Structure 1
Amino acid sequence: MSNPDEKQQHTYQDWLSWDGAWELINGKAYNMSPAPTALHQFIVGELHFALRAHLQNKSCHVFVAPFDVFFSESDQSSTPDHVTQPDLSVVCSRNQIHKNGCHGAPTMIIEVLSPSTALKDFNEKFNLYQKYGVQEYWIVDPGNRTVHVYTLLDGVYQVRDLYSEQDSVRSNVFRDFQIPLGRLFDLEV
């Protein structure tokens, strides 16, 4: 076991040998070790609870990090090209769920920003999730108390909604799912 050189290009085989939690996006290693804040964990917990209660693990299943999502250029590939660990993943195809995580694009992914992940979430992950067909991508920004919702249309995130603290954020994929943002940010620390 080892730690990757974050300046080098890496493969999935390299990723398998690393200590700790790492993401692999476009050959670049991203350390997932910085501990999330209490507010980050509170937001993830509230969203997980709301989605889990709404979907009831009937047609879709909700997973919370650490949960690996594997993306491959080829549908038949046993060696993924990218591995991410979203804060929340909603998987609506049971055949994508394996012992080690989700193979292929979840229906919905939610990332809660941290200062160390903001650029990656808005850039590398945005492009990756769009490319591989994640139907809906939420970026929750605790610092600005906003939620960005991106919905795929014709292979591109064309629907871009921005919700602020006084709004209820709505899903475009799960039409009857919404959550008041005040509830997400209702933790004073």
Structure 2
Amino acid sequence: MISIPDEKKIHSFEDWLTWDGTWELINGKAYNMSPAPTALHQYIVGELHFALRTFFQNRSCFVFVAPFDVFFSESDNYESPDHVIQPDLSVVCSKNQISKNGCHGAPTIIVEVLSPSTALKDFNEKFNLYQQYGVQEYWIVDPGNRTAHVYALQNGAYQVRSLYTEQETIHSTLTKELQVPMIKLFSME
């Protein structure tokens, strides 16, 4: 039976399986993935996908663009995970994590491009979730402010934070060769 979740209730993965539409499940809470992103959001995701895919193509890492499910589980039981999210971009460097349904466990890098409806979730719930489950690097690109925040995990917490502005180049803390000029992300405007 297909349904729409009550966003005020706590839900399980089994509930998530029955929902109509595109939803994320974080700490038992349902998050609707609509409305569709803006043209600028999609342009930025496309530019980042191209840059990441070009960089990682010969490095045994795979770059996925949403909709692509990432499953987090306290017990490593991915038959019934605790959280299901759809980052804008996921870089997965362990082929063993990839299944026909998505990624089991933390991608190496996750990129979220903010929209007004997702900004709080990306900076709070997702930030904490990615930190807890060991996403090595988390990028938050903010089109409204033309900035990018890059967080790097050290000793289980995001301790390194770099802020890049429109005229700068994003530098990965994991691999120094990975660099993305911010100006390319906003060249549509």
TM-score range, shorter chain: over 0.9
TM-fit CA distance, 1:76 = 3.6
Identity of aligned residues (%): 74
Change in Cα spacing, 1:57 to 1:99, as seen in structure 2 (3 Å) is farther
CA distance in 2, matches of 1:53, 1:180: 14
TM-score by length of 1: 0.98
Residue equivalent to 2:12: 11
Residue equivalent to 2:173: 172
Residue equivalent to 1:111: 112
Change in Cα spacing, 1:173 to 1:80, as seen in structure 2 (3 Å) is same
Residue equivalent to 2:75: 74
Residue equivalent to 2:34: 33
Residue equivalent to 2:64: 63
Residue equivalent to 1:125: 126
Question: Comparing 172-181 with 18-27, which one deviates more in the overlay?
Answer: 172-181
CA distance in 1, matches of 2:78, 2:104: 10
CA distance in 2, matches of 1:115, 1:153: 29
The residue type paired with residue 43 of structure 1 is I
The residue type paired with residue 89 of structure 2 is L
CA distance in 1, matches of 2:51, 2:124: 27
CA-to-aligned-CA distance 1:121-146 (integer Å, 9 cap, x gap): 00000000000000000000000000
Change in Cα spacing, 1:93 to 1:166, as seen in structure 2 (3 Å) is same
The residue type paired with residue 40 of structure 2 is L
CA distance in 2, matches of 1:134, 1:185: 26
CA contact under 8 A between 2:72 and 2:78: conserved in structure 1? no
CA distance in 2, matches of 1:181, 1:157: 22
CA contact under 8 A between 2:73 and 2:83: conserved in structure 1? yes
CA-to-aligned-CA distance 1:113-170 (integer Å, 9 cap, x gap): 0000000000000000000000000000000000000000000000000000010001
Any runs of at least 4 consecutive aligned residues in structure 1 with deviations exceeding 4 A, and if so which? none
Q: Which runs of 5+ in 1 are unaligned?
A: none
CA distance in 2, matches of 1:144, 1:53: 26
TM-score by length of 2: 0.98
TM-fit CA distance, 1:77 = 4.4
**What is the RMSD computed on CA atoms of the aligned residues?**
0.8
The residue type paired with residue 185 of structure 1 is F
Residue equivalent to 1:42: 43
CA distance in 1, matches of 2:13, 2:21: 15
Residue equivalent to 2:88: 87
The number of aligned residues is 188
CA contact under 8 A between 2:138 and 2:152: conserved in structure 1? yes
CA distance in 2, matches of 1:126, 1:78: 24
CA-to-aligned-CA distance 1:44-64 (integer Å, 9 cap, x gap): 000000110111154100000
TM-fit CA distance, 1:34 = 0.8
Residue equivalent to 1:147: 148
CA-to-aligned-CA distance 1:10-32 (integer Å, 9 cap, x gap): 00000000001000000000000
CA-to-aligned-CA distance 1:53-104 (integer Å, 9 cap, x gap): 1111541000000000000001244210000000000000000000000000
Q: Which runs of 5+ in 2 are unaligned?
A: none
